Structure 1
């Protein structure tokens, strides 16, 4: 398995920016939506509203029960995950904060990683996407989501995240924020905003307790 440093070096030659990644993710999810509408499966709203206890009990695919919310648990949508690898900038600055602190958690369902891998494969190449998938899968904490749910929102809800990083302006809108804050205790932010607000010393005292020891991991390993 390659290190983050090696993957970032390989991706340095890719001509990509946030706009290209955002467009690629829209295309990936539009294609998924078309395939879903053509299938004979359950309606997306039904999947979202299904009783998680019934699903977990065996009436459908295994789904993670919602975890207790924590400010140290974070979800990065597929656009941010791809930009971390391909663009650097705000996405990498935000995720470096998580990679440098092992007591923080990156949450991601398999469908969320599927979307990011598809974006990387589209913008860069499939081999880099597959090697990235192997590395990120070893880092993230897996969340099992219902079929048809928005991968980032489902990962945040099921995994107990209080922060959702995304470039999607609609997801970060005031209307969406009111819904997320009242129903799910999730705040959607641009990666730049998250990185600027991330305060590891006070967060460590809240989540772990005691004196903050500083970063405890090389974010490039």
Structure 2
């Protein structure tokens, strides 16, 4: 992975499998994170098949296999699915291959200083837990940066 191959797109966000499952099953900051994406049609969820496999497995184990399959189908319709090289972490592969600048995760290995140091200079991405994303991500400033016009506010119902 080299930083030269990553073309950051500030409208693309990766939610790791644990955050996706927590959005459905728990709520809280994970749901608030995904609500930001669902409320703004110009923000894109990026994932890999493996990331969705992992999320589906968690939901099937904790809830129901049928719910997990239906939910995954819904995610596949909304997300941009990118290829994941063998051996790569699903969320990091999604960020790198999907040009995302944000990864939201509950995985301590991704959130630690060691991971930040390893990623530094290689890929322009921020890895945050859902509560930090919820506090720090500002759709208005991202919209105005990317589209160079005033932020119109949310344009979608996050519950649809």
Contact residue 75 and residue 156 of structure 1 kept, 8 A: yes
Determine if the alignment matches structure 1 residue 109 to structure 2 residue 109: no
Alignment match, 1:72 = 11
TM-score normalized with structure 1 length? 0.68
1:96 to 35, 42, 45: 35
1:124 to 52, 63, 67: 63
Q: CA deviation at 1:168?
A: 1.1
Deviations 1:156-180 (A, max 9, x none): 1101111111111121011211222
Q: CA deviation at 1:133?
A: 0.5
Contact residue 20 and residue 55 of structure 2 kept, 8 A: yes
What is the number of equivalent residue pairs in this alignment? 157
C-alpha separation between the residues in 1 aligned to 2:48 and 2:144? 28
Q: What runs of 5+ residues in structure 2 fail to find an aligned partner?
A: none
Larger radius of gyration: 1
C-alpha separation between the residues in 2 aligned to 1:110 and 1:170? 21
Alignment match, 2:88 = 149
Q: Secondary structure at the match of 2:57?
A: helix
Q: CA deviation at 1:68?
A: 1.5
C-alpha separation between the residues in 2 aligned to 1:159 and 1:131? 24
Deviations 1:47-88 (A, max 9, x none): xx7xxxxxxxxxxxxxxxx55212221111100000000000
Backbone CA RMSD of aligned residues: 1.3
Contact residue 171 and residue 177 of structure 1 kept, 8 A: yes
Alignment match, 1:27 = none
Determine if the alignment matches structure 1 residue 212 to structure 2 residue 146: no
